[in-house]
Structure 1
Amino acid sequence: RKNLIMLSSKGEKMSEILTEECFDMTVTIESILSATHNDLWRAIEEWECLLSKESLLDRVKEVKRQRESKDIKIVPYEPCYQEAFKSLNKEWINKYFKMEEADYAAIDNPEKYILEKGGEILVALYKNEPVGVCALLKMNDEYYDYELSKLAVSPKVQGKGIGVLLGQTTINRAKELGGRNLYLESNTILKPAIHIYEKLGFKKIFGHSTSYQRCNIQMELIIE
């Protein structure tokens, strides 16, 4: 008589996650062990000293971030990414607001509305799946060169630093194109997005005209 035990599809996915988490923990502990040179009790003291500077959780998170970053690529927009550009933006807009005329113009025809006007779109791939997008709009403005717009990251991969990486890559691309003064519009309800913009160096400004009803905060970045 035999008892066969098998994992369900959900269990297999959980097993993969646990395997990765155990790997991160092992690498972290081994890195701490390699930094100690004394007996166990002194080693424990060294551990306490090291962990007082950076917790074990933070160290594991950093190892995880570095491992996952190897699966992240930022690539230029291609027509095959149009549906991802559209769906990723509609997802966050419809969650918090409602689609506006300018939204439809940009995501329904990005080639005409963004690319043909001198702008660019970057796409974040995670394990070769498009999970994030960011647009750089060429502005017809006496002061601002480009607008950073349509930054969207799938909820499935948030927390991996993809938003910051996308934003920074877009800023670098604007600099390569000769842009120095960047502009963006957002809403303060989008706290994670505002945090990303501030981390990238954007500062609040006031008084610039906008075509979006949902816009209640405007920001700029002067590239040195």
Structure 2
Amino acid sequence: MTVFEKTGKVALGSRLRILSARMTDDAARIYQMYEVDFSPKWFPVFFLLAQEGEKSVTELAIEVGHSQPSVTKIIKEMIAAGLVQEKLQVDDKRKTVAELTQKGREVAAKVQLQSEDVDLAIDALIAESNHNLWEALAEWEYLLDQESLLRRVQQQKKRRESKDVRIVPYEDKYQSAYKALNVEWISTFFKMEEADYKALDHPHEYILDKGGMIFVALYKDEPLGVCALIKCNEGPYGFELAKMAVSPKAQGKNIGWLLGMAAIDAARQAGASKIFLESNTMLKPAIGLYQKLGFQKIVGIPSPYERCNIQMELSLTHQ
């Protein structure tokens, strides 16, 4: 049993590197077989210059998907090998482009014959295979362009850790956590205001006794996130979503999303048709969360908070 049979897919990168090294070693021997003094890593840049003529480093970097410093290094190596030369572009004397030398064009002719043989060999390998690796690579590149492996793992981590999160109704034993989490969050970006102290020091009087609700997110039984629904007695809104705060050590565990969904479900069950909230556009992750929850920007009534520069609403009748 190989190590990859033991590790499974988590070692995908290592396995691809070994396969790549194996292919690169064979490629170097193939160049020797055709009497071409050539490094396999030069091929993408060399191919473009051979097929399309002179190009700038920027153009080459974009087309081959390498960084400019990487392409610059390859160009310098091929210049040292006598395959490439640099010159000023005809229509822009400030811009340097690379092109093949006479030696480079001669090597390109040899590489062309070699490429034809390599293509046929790879076609034969594909025919012997149950899966077309070449097409699979193109598909994987496309899918990873849409969402990177890092992002995909982050989502899986969120899903796993969110299973350890419970959203529970407020109890007096959570009052200190409710206040501390909000003070920490507000003080990080703004300053505490009078309305904050009212809601945080007197949750019963300011929120609960008026028909509002407070939710607490417990991660492994530790209160690490909170939010409130403040009852609105006037206007078109049933509730205001407010006082949402998540501990920095719990971010990335989907707690904001779970709190928001719990609040929305509770507002719907209470018969509310709309919810609104106030925030600040500098809080891009928070605004992104609200948009994901379905909130949309509106022009609302004057806010009691100095820090508020955006108001949003969610219609519960259209969900």
The question of a shared fold, defined as TM-score above 0.5 by the shorter chain, is answered with yes
Q: Pick from 60, 74, 80 the counterpart of residue 167 of structure 2.
A: 74
Closer/same/farther in 2, CA of residues 28 and 140 from structure 1, 3 Å limit? farther
Q: 1:48 to 1:130 in 2, by over 3 A?
A: farther
Query: Which structure has the greater CA radius of gyration?
Result: 2
Aligned residues of 1:72 and 1:127 also touching (Cα < 8 A): yes
Q: Which has the higher helix share?
A: 2
8 Å contact from structure 1 (residues 27, 63) kept in 2: no
Partner of 2:234: 141
Distance between the aligned counterparts of 2:167 and 2:8, measured in 1?
Answer: 29
Alignment-derived partner of residue 257 in structure 2: 164
Partner residue, 1:197: 290
- Secondary structure of the equivalent of 1:94? helix
| In structure 2, distance between residues paired with 1:78 and 1:27 | 45
Which of 169, 177, 180 is the aligned partner of 2:273? 180
Match of 1:60 among 149, 153, 157: 153
Runs of 4+ deviating beyond 4 Å: 25-30, 38-48
CA distance in 2, matches of 1:72, 1:47: 38
- The counterpart of 1:151, out of the listed 231, 244, 263, is 244
1:212 to 1:183, Cα distance in 2 relative to 1, 3 A: same
Q: Would you say how many aligned residue pairs link Structure 1 and Structure 2?
A: 193
Q: 2:152 and 2:10 mapped to 1: Cα distance?
A: 6
Query: Which residue type is aligned with residue 183 of structure 2?
Result: K
AA at the equivalent of 1:136: L
Structure 2: runs of 5 or more not aligned:
1-6, 13-127
Q: Give the TM-score normalised by the residue count of structure 2.
A: 0.56
Equivalent residue, structure 2, for 1:108: 201
Cα deviation for residue 188 of structure 1 reads 1.3
Contact (CA 8 Å) 1:28, 1:63: kept in 2 or not?
no
User: Are the equivalent residues in 1 in contact too, given 2:190–2:307 (CA < 8 A)?
Assistant: yes
Percentage of identical aligned residues: 54
Shift of 1:66: 2.2
In 2, Cα distance between equivalents of 1:44 and 1:121: 54
1:49 counterpart = 2:142: no
Q: CA deviation at 1:62?
A: 2.9
Cα pair 1:28 1:59 within 8 Å, conserved: no
Q: Is the 8 A contact 2:193 2:305 kept in 1?
A: yes
What residue is the counterpart of 1:96 in the other structure?
189
Work out which structure has the larger RCO, using CA pairs closer than 8 Å and 6 or more positions apart in sequence: 1
Q: C-alpha separation between the residues in 2 aligned to 1:216 and 1:70?
A: 34
CA shift for structure 1 position 193: 1.0
Name the aligned partner's letter for residue 212 of structure 1: Y
Aligned residue for 1:215, secondary structure, equals coil
